[in-house]
């Protein structure tokens, strides 16, 4: 068996030697709701059906859909599973659980060279443009990213590109103070102009990381597209090759609505990565797989708690461990 046994060996030896890292513990704790809901039902399914049959597949299909993996993803997944069951003559449901873990991993990786690493600029500031609808935790995500990079001894600046929403600029300014980051922003003015001036200041101050907030008015896609086009042009003119990342922030608790947001934003600008917030607050952690399948954009960070240190780089093996720990 592929990943299942590989993970089993890795994590069993780590547990034995008590070398499970803090990051792995966060995945363990953060995915507890999903694990309790999903894996316990998967295990019960294996007890209910000792042999793989049509009824088993139907219940498994419902179980995967309830985990918010997405209907299309589930249909493709079940089809692949049926082929493996037939081709390998699998009858034991306990053994099939191992195949399920492997196939879910394959869905995410899909033989591609996907990376959760941030594309860093070797010459001058690294510009990270943050997009997403209002209310998904975009501003606090910026603060958590600032905290992360400050702890790595980076010089960080926040630029408030959400200039018209009441209180947005001041909210970001407060987070800049709390994280000891530089700040640039002005209210009720053209976002592209503010970003231009902010980037001039960032270069003067020899900043390493620039985090740019943007408006989240998705209900008028045409206007937002034009605004983001203008912002991207201004950023590229100021710093060659920037923005180096455009990260879409999605609230994991919104489920399928989050996938619709990802599809909508992909239409209007070049998204390079996804930040999934509040993954610890949902029993539908399968959204990680659904989003990758729907938009083919890697998840780069996940929020697994409210503390500043709870936004961590996404790791598919740690995620699979957090999801299936009780089966390993």
Q: How far apart, in whole angstroms, are the C-alpha atoms of residue 28 and residue 7?
A: 14
pTM over 0.85: yes
Exposed/middle/buried for residue 305 (C-beta within 10 Å: 0-12, 13-18, 19+): middle
**What is the predicted pLDDT for the residue at 68?**
82
**What is the predicted pLDDT for the residue at 2?**
67
**What is the predicted pLDDT for the residue at 115?**
64
Q: How far apart, in whole angstroms, are the C-alpha atoms of residue 234 and residue 251?
A: 28
Distances (CA, A) of 183 to 70, 151, 208, 232, 279: 40, 18, 13, 19, 29
Report, as ranges of residue numbers, the positions in the chain whose pLDDT lies below 50. none
Q: What is the pLDDT of residues 18-44, one digit of tens each?
A: 667 888 889 999 999 988 888 888 888
What angle (nearest 5°) sits at the alpha carbon of residue 162, between those of residues 291 and 302? 30
Q: What is the pLDDT of residues 83-134, one digit of tens each?
A: 999 999 999 988 898 888 888 888 777 655 556 689 999 989 999 999 999 8
Identify whether the C-beta of residue 253 lies closer than 8 Å to the C-beta of residue 281: yes
**What is the predicted pLDDT for the residue at 239?**
95
Close Cβ partners of 114 (under 8 Å, ≥ 6 residues apart): 108, 298
Fold of 126-314: Rossmann fold (3.40.50)
**What is the predicted pLDDT for the residue at 36?**
87
**What is the predicted pLDDT for the residue at 268?**
92
Q: Return the domain boundaries, the chain.
A: 126-314
Start-to-end CA distance of the chain, whole Å, equals 13
| SS3 labels along 38-73 | HHHHHHHHHHHCCECCHHHHHHHHHHHHHCCCCHHH
């Amino acid at each position: 068996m592929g990943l299942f046994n590989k993970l089993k060996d890795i994590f069993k030896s780590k547990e034995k030697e008590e070398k499970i890292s803090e990051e792995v513990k966060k995945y363990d704790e953060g995915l507890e709701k999903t694990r309790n809901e999903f894996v316990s039902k998967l295990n019960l399914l294996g007890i209910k059906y000792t042999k793989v049959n049509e009824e088993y597949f139907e219940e498994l299909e419902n179980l995967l859909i309830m985990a918010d993996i997405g209907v299309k993803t589930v249909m493709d997944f079940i089809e692949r599973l049926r082929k493996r069951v037939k081709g390998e003559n699998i009858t034991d449901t306990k053994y099939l659980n191992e195949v399920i873990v492997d196939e879910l991993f394959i869905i995410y990786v899909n033989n591609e060279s996907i990376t959760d690493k941030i594309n860093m600029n070797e010459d001058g500031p690294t510009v990270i443009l943050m997009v997403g609808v209002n209310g998904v935790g975009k501003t606090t995500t910026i603060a958590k990213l600032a905290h992360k990079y400050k702890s790595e001894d980076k010089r960080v600046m926040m630029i408030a590109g959400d200039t018209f929403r009441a209180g947005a600029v001041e909210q970001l300014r407060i987070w800049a103070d709390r994280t000891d980051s530089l700040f640039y922003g002005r209210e009720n003015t053209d976002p592209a102009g503010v970003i231009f001036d902010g980037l001039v200041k960032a270069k003067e101050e020899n900043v390493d990381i620039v985090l740019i907030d943007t408006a989240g008015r998705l209900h008028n896609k045409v206007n937002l597209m034009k605004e983001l086009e203008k912002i991207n042009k201004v950023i590229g003119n100021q710093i060659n090759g920037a923005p180096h990342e455009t990260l879409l922030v999605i609230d994991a608790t919104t489920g399928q609505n989050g996938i619709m947001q990802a599809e909508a934003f992909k239409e209007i600008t070049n998204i390079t990565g996804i930040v999934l917030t509040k993954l610890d607050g949902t029993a539908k952690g399968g959204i990680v797989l659904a989003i990758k399948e729907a938009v083919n954009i890697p998840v780069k960070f996940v929020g697994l708690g409210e503390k500043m240190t709870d936004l961590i780089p996404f790791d598919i093996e740690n995620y699979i461990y957090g999801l299936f720990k009780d089966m390993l």
